[in-house]
Every structure is written in structure tokens, then in C-alpha cells.
Amino acid sequence: MKVLLGILLIVILVISGCSGSDYTKEQLDGLASCLKEKGVKEYGAFWCPNCAKQQKMFGSSYDIIKDGVYVECDPRGDDSQAELCIEKEVDKYPTWDFPNGERLIGVQQFEVLAEKSGCTL
């Protein structure tokens, strides 16, 4: 019985640790839509591990990011905008640019993206 309870406890801990975000899909969709509406840009590359991490954080809400926020900087990538990345002097990924001229580099927490963009979660 103790072994069974121990295994159950481990399973619960693993599942809870893998749950990802504390935000609902609706909240993440709202944030992604707001970032798009505000003109925020995320510059990245298809091979970038930190870009993949940022994408994973958004889950299925990243579809909204891909449609108007994300800019592919590698000329080998789909829908590449490498010239724009050069023009914007983007050399690290992901790079987040905000309409007020602020720039953040690296994986960003949702709260930071919301604050910098004026969006809500």
C-alpha cells in the first residue's frame, strides 16, 4: 500500500510540474492577440532553441504569434524576412521589439511581455 501511495505521489508531482503555464488558453490567446494589435515583433530563427522554448510557453496560442508578431530571420526559414532583421540589427534570438522602441532579448515571461506592451493577461 505504501509503495502504491508513493508511486501515486510521484506521478502527481511529475504531472503538476509539467503543467506549463498558470494561464488559460483564453488568457494566452488574448495576450498574443494584443501583442499583434500593438505591433510587437518577435524576431527569431527556426533553429533557435530559445525561440522554441518561447513557442512552447505559448502553446497553441503561438499560432497567433506566428501570424503577425513573429519574424523569421534565417533566410532558409519559411517566410523569411532576413533583410528586415538586418535592418533592425537583430543578432540574438528571440528579440522582442515594442512600438515604443524598447527591446528585450531572450525568452520572456508573459508578465513582462504584457507590461512592456500595455497588454493584460
DSSP state of 77: S
Q: What is the mean pLDDT of residues 84-98?
A: 98
- Residue 11 is predicted with a pLDDT of 37
Q: To the nearest whole number, what is the mean pLDDT of the chain?
A: 88
Beta partners for 43?
71, 95
With cut-offs at 50, 70 and 90, classify the pLDDT of residue 21.
low
Q: Which domains does the chain have, with CATH numbers?
A: 20-117 (3.40.30.10)
- Are the CB atoms for 51 and 94 separated by under 8 Å? yes
Query: Which has the closest alpha carbon to 62: 107, 100, 6, 103?
Result: 107
pLDDT for residue 19 is more than 90:
no
pTM of the model: 0.81
Reported as type and span, the H/E element at residue 23 is: none
Q: What is the mean pLDDT of residues 8-33?
A: 68
Of all residues in the chain, what percent carry a pLDDT higher than 70? 83
pLDDT for residue 30 is more than 50:
yes
- Residue 29 is predicted with a pLDDT of 98
Helical segments of the chain, H only: 2-17, 25-38, 49-58, 62-66, 82-87, 110-117
